[in-house]
Amino acid sequence: MKKNLFRCFCLLWVVLAFAAPLAIPACSTFVLQKGDKLLFGRNFDFFTGNGAIMVNPRGLAKTALVLPGENPAKWTAQYGSVTFNQVGRELPMGGMNEAGLVVEMMWHFTAGYPGRDERSGAMELQWIQCLLDSCATVADAVNAIERVRIMPMGSLLHFHLLDRRGDEAIVEFINGKAQIYRGKDLSVKALTNQTYSECLALRSGFQGFGGAKPLHTTINDPDRFMALAVAVRLPGREKKLLDRAWAILEEVHCEVQESPTQWRFVYDPRNLEIHIRTLKNPELRTIRFKDLSFDCASGAKVLDLDAGAGDISRSFADYTPAFNEALMRRTFAIYKENGFQKDMPDFYVAVLAAYPDSLKCQ
């Protein structure tokens, strides 16, 4: 019991540290489709790019980390995944599973999650892992949203999902209710930091959409959203779609010192590949799922997010608790340098870092 409470308290510290608002939030996601080619682009803009790539095996039984009194979600991972993690294993910022489902998040200042109810819960980042573990399609994820509630811990986020069939969804939580844009309701295949409906409503004020405001005047919303709205209407040639995705990410990248674009990803859910560039390592790197093992007995694998060049599919090392703790200590040291959670006890970081050790193969 005491160990569980320590984990709960530690989780609260972690989420509050992560939840601190960005100085200038400018993250972007979009989907491009041309012929049979389907890609998902993502810019992660933050004051630090410290992070790791995690290969998460299928078959692990998991119980969500929650606060006292909460009903924790419990599940067994049906699908392996590759995720991008900054605050430790099982708490990803986003990723893709072996079924081709992509789940990404970004800051959303007006997010309002559901209050406590009869459903089981998981905090925001572990909720992402739960979807990747449990869902093969966007339809599966939409159903899971009804069953597993985000436990509100302070991180104001909304989410962009895509599967290999081309089904796509934007998920926001407004005034305690899930708002899901999908199909005909998702008229622009892009997301930034402002509420999706607000961005759509502002389109008519821009040139080319009936208004007079010029495009590309700032990197802020809704200007950045409108830049994406134009870009995804002109996806380019099918054989050059990856180049087009990188060009769009460059078009909406942020150079502001307080929150530059740290990570750039292009997911290919049909070929099960992820293409990566980071601020510290702009060399193009590729992860090919066909060269990975998601077997539970093989265990999790890890790689520093800034490491390598070219095909890095075979560059992963075995996961160790020491790697996870070192990742978290680096991250929280950077957080503290930037004025976030300066008084956070090191012991709490160690306890949360040890959480994956409790996961067992089924």
Tell me which of 125-129, 162-166, 314-318, 340-344 is least confident.
340-344
Closest CA to 96 of 35, 150, 34, 160: 160
Q: How far apart are CA 130 and CA 63, in angstroms?
A: 10
**91: Cβ contacts below 8 Å, ≥ 6 apart:** 14, 85, 125, 126, 129
Residues 136, 101: contact at Cβ < 8 Å? yes
Q: How far apart are CA 289 and CA 308, in angstroms?
A: 17
Q: How far apart are CA 330 and CA 235, in angstroms?
A: 39
CA-based angle 56:268:128, to the nearest 5?
40
Q: How far apart are CA 28 and CA 86, in angstroms?
A: 18
Q: How far apart are CA 224 and CA 218, in angstroms?
A: 7
pTM of the full structure: 0.94
Q: Is residue 356 reached through a cis peptide bond, with omega within 30 degrees of 0 on the bond before it?
A: no
pLDDT at residue number 25: 58
Query: Which tens digit of pLDDT belongs to each residue from 257-282?
Result: 888 999 999 999 999 999 999 999 99
5-40 burial code (b ≥16 CB/10 A, e <16): ebbbbbbbbbbebbbeebebbbbbbbbbbeeebbbb
Q: How far apart are CA 321 and CA 209, in angstroms?
A: 52
Residue 347 clears pLDDT 90, i.e. is over it: no
**Tokens at 356, concatenated:** 């994956």
308-331 burial code (b ≥16 CB/10 A, e <16): beeebbebbeebeeebbbebbeeb
Tell me which of 21-35, 38-52, 88-102, 304-318 is least confident.
21-35
What are residue 157's DSSP bridge partners? 107
**Tokens at 249, concatenated:** 């990410």
pLDDT at residue number 19: 44
Residue 339 clears pLDDT 90, i.e. is over it: no
pLDDT at residue number 17: 44
Query: Which tens digit of pLDDT belongs to each residue from 167-208?
Result: 999 999 999 999 999 999 999 999 999 999 999 999 999 988
Using DSSP, state whether 18 is helix, strand or coil.
Answer: helix
Helices (H), ranges, 106-161: 124-134, 138-147
Query: Which tens digit of pLDDT belongs to each residue from 32-46?
Result: 999 999 999 999 999
Q: Which CATH superfamily is domain 2-20+40-192+257-361 in?
A: Penicillin V Acylase; Chain A (3.60.60.10)
Residues 296, 271: contact at Cβ < 8 Å? no
Using DSSP, state whether 84 is helix, strand or coil.
Answer: strand
- pLDDT band of 3, cuts 50, 70, 90: very low
Give backbone dihedrals phi and psi of 190, rounded to 5 degrees, phi first: -160, 160
| Cα R_g (the chain), whole angstroms | 19
**Tokens at 282, concatenated:** 């702009």
Residues 285, 310: contact at Cβ < 8 Å? yes
Helix (H) / strand (E) element for 231: namely helix 223-231
pLDDT at residue number 352: 81
